[in-house]
A and B are shown apart, each in its own frame.
Chain A
Amino acid sequence: MSKLFEETRSLKAPVWGVIPRAAWPLVVAIAIGALIYFGVSPLVGGFVSKVMLIVGINIVLAVSLNIVNGYTGQFSMGHAGFMAVGGYVAAGIVYYGSIKLWGSADPAGGILSIVQEGPKSGPLLGKGDFLFVISCLIGGLVAAGAGYVVGLPSLRLRGDYLAIVTLGFGEIVRVILQGSHDQIQPWKAADAAAMPVYELAWKLGGPKGFNLVPTYTTLFWVYFWAVLTCIAAYRLKSSSSGRAFLSIREDEVAAQAMGVDLTKYKVRAFVFSSFFAGVAGGLYALDIGAISAGDLNFIKSFDIIIMVVLGGLGSISGAVLAAVILSILPEALRDFQSYRLIVYALLLIVIMIVRPQGLFGVREVWDLKIFKRRGGGLGGSAGGAP
């Protein structure tokens, strides 16, 4: 028996690196979020800031969908469903949580979560911010749970069957949420405060949607999460787990023969991907202050799929770039609104015929030759060699 592996196991990573490696993504996420929120946003003005917010949420959605559709080669068409799950959970927690804790559904955030004109003043974080952050996390976790459930059938279903099942899942989520009970309006906050949590949990507004939720989402939080999503996706891609995902995409039979547990990794991809979709749903709902299951139908899922396909199935930077382009495009083409989806549709067809791997394929922007020549590139600094 070969002793190769045992011999080399002793190649230990320096211990001092552990904490920085675990923590730097958080630091970078906070730094970039703060830079965009305090630095860029005041310079570019309200409208551009609003577009940037949409871009950021779409980055989270596209990069996370890419893990299932791009890395693992499964085809999920229910990403909007996970987004809806996370969004409703987060909105419910923030709305009813505020009422339960403070008696009203008014926003109670600090600087980071209140969009102010002029100089920003007040505490950095308000009491509501903690509720907001927790609600997004829980929204993500619940969505991840849903991802686990949806991931299980993916073991037995391939390609287009799975696509239909995930699409069906998205629709079931929508139909079920639209069947929820009426929301308790803010002026009846006292009633809500007196109700037990399990009763409130199902008063999500039904077909009218869940409205008048206090808003907390700002550019800071959106880019904080966008950066975290990208780093997490990158760490996944450049590790053994990521290779296992890619191997499933390349050839399931060979992957299994190499000892890759299809069940484990497919479910893992779904769980991971839907967690971030859930977080994006929370950010989305708490930006608008409302969420409606009717808006998060399969057309929304298609939008995200188009981003992933255009950017390249498996490319993080490709997904980011595509999310940026495809979020800005409709704003720039307001006058041609009715042509937007036609352009998207043609784009999909043409990409599939001309460049089926998308703009970047599995590669990243920094893998391109132009960047290679200048040496190093971004790959190294993004943790290429851990």
Chain B
Amino acid sequence: MLDVRGISIAFGGLKAVQDFSLSIPRGGLYGLIGPNGAGKTTCFNLLTGVYTPSEGSIAVDGVDVTGLPPHQIAVAGLSRTFQNIRLFGQLSVLDNVLLGLHLRGRHSLASTLLRTGFHVSQERAMAAVAMRLLETFGLANRAEEQGKNLPYGDQRRLEIARALATEPKVLLLDEPAAGMNPQEKKALRELIQRVRQEFGVTILLIEHDMGVVMNICERITVLNFGQTIAAGTPDEVQNDPKVIEAYLGTE
């Protein structure tokens, strides 16, 4: 479903990500871990088109998206959340999700201004879908609140809901458990599992919390200094000496 072959990028002299490859089958749930500054978020930025890789290729469901601008990559079926939550703070919770639905509709200036039948029915359909999504995430009762007024955990969930609204094939989650307490983390784990089943999306997640990663991910890739140092099942990775060295240092 997601095929990444040897992508690299350098900022100035710093090789932030080097020769990163990853292949996730349909419906897979993979993890990307590594110490701080290992290049995980940069990887996400490369995948979603925020940065353009200097080499390598990215394909979503067999369609090459290398070098496309972010909005076209979103159309191709890659959606993401952000490490430092990036909701549209002044917009309502509902509007945030509606924005996710935006790219699956057609919105011409003329039909908007004239309120054609197509426009009106589309807006209605969007509102209905958005509300159902919010219900799934337990946010329906907060639909009219401004995004920035939600509690932290709800903001994280809203970001996932918004990303799902784009009907992605692949969902990238950037540290979804960051700043959560143990109960919230447990709920999040269940949520991710549920999303995967209900929406049938392929998921790649960056996470620092080993409890979350090791429990739910099928395979894990470990980055350090921009390079892939290990890849495999949670058990394999946990016992890999290079991974232990990267996290704990050498004696």
Contact = CB atoms under 8 A, between A and B. Distances in A.
Interface of A: 1-2, 4-5, 8-13, 15, 17-18, 21-22, 232, 235-236, 239-241, 243-244, 246-247, 250-251, 253-262, 268, 272, 361-362, 383, 386
B143 to A, nearest CB: 14
A258 B109 contact: no
Given A2-B164, A241-B107, 10 more contacts: A1-B167, A2-B167, A12-B117, A241-B109, A243-B99, A250-B90, A251-B87, A253-B86, A259-B102, A362-B90
A240 B126 contact: yes
21 contacts: A1-B169, A4-B133, A5-B104, A13-B117, A22-B115, A239-B112, A239-B123, A243-B91, A243-B95, A243-B99, A244-B102, A246-B90, A255-B88, A256-B74, A257-B50, A258-B71, A258-B100, A258-B166, A259-B71, A261-B71, A272-B109
Contact of A246 (B91, B128, B133, B163): B91
A386 to B, nearest CB: 5
A260 B99 contact: yes
Contact of A22 (B48, B116, B121): B116
Q: Would you list the 9 A-B pairs with minimal beta carbon distance, nearest first?
A: A259-B103, A259-B74, A13-B120, A256-B70, A250-B88, A254-B86, A8-B125, A21-B115, A22-B114
B50 A253 contact: yes
A386 B120 contact: yes
A236 B113 CA distance: 7
A243 B102 contact: yes
B217 to A, nearest CB: 22
Nearest to A12: B121
A178 to B, nearest CB: 33
Contacts of B50: 253, 256-257
Contacts of B109: 241, 268, 272
A180 to B, nearest CB: 32
B119 interface: yes
A274 to B, nearest CB: 13
A13 B121 CA distance: 5
Given A247-B99, A250-B91, A386 B123 contact: yes
B124 interface: yes
Contact of A11 (B49, B104, B124, B163): B124
Contacts of A236: 112-113
A258 B91 contact: no
Contacts of B98: 240, 243
Interface string B123-137: 111101100110000
